[in-house]
A and B are shown apart, each in its own frame.
Chain A
Amino acid sequence: LETLTSTLPSASPQEQKQMLGERLFSLIQAVQPTLAGKITGMLLEINNSELLRMLESPEFLLSKVDEAVAVLQAH
């Protein structure tokens, strides 16, 4: 995560989302294997500082994953 936070500011917006997406996906895949791609896609619409908070706090990430699953099921 330290590598990510130090690399992120010098990356393009597209690259920033890509890097955050890779990290988020690997974490989300552990709890939601079938929906991980869509959940990650949804969460990437959130601003990067919030996404970094999710990577730093598993509890925060899981609460956002739960929200995303609820939205997906309602969709």
Chain B
Amino acid sequence: GSSINWPPEFHPGVPWKGLQNI
């Protein structure tokens, strides 16, 4: 697939979504 949105960006105070695909 497309890797254009990699890496997931961390924003302080916002729940990090990076683990959703694990």
Q: Which residues of A contact B8 (CB under 8 A)?
A: 41, 44
List A contacts of B15 (CB < 8 A).
Answer: 14, 18
Total inter-chain residue pairs, C-beta < 8 Å: 43
User: A22-B12, A25-B10, A75-B6 in contact; A41/B19 too (CB < 8 A)?
Assistant: no
Number of interface residues of B (CB under 8 A): 13
Residues of B within 8 A of A40 (CB): 9-10
Q: Are A42 and B16 in contact (CB under 8 A)?
A: no
Query: In the assembled complex, which residues on chain A have CB atoms less than 8 Å from the CB atom of B19?
Result: 13-14, 17
Chain A positions near chain B (C-beta within 8 angstroms): 13-14, 17-18, 21-22, 24-26, 36-38, 40-42, 44-45, 72, 75
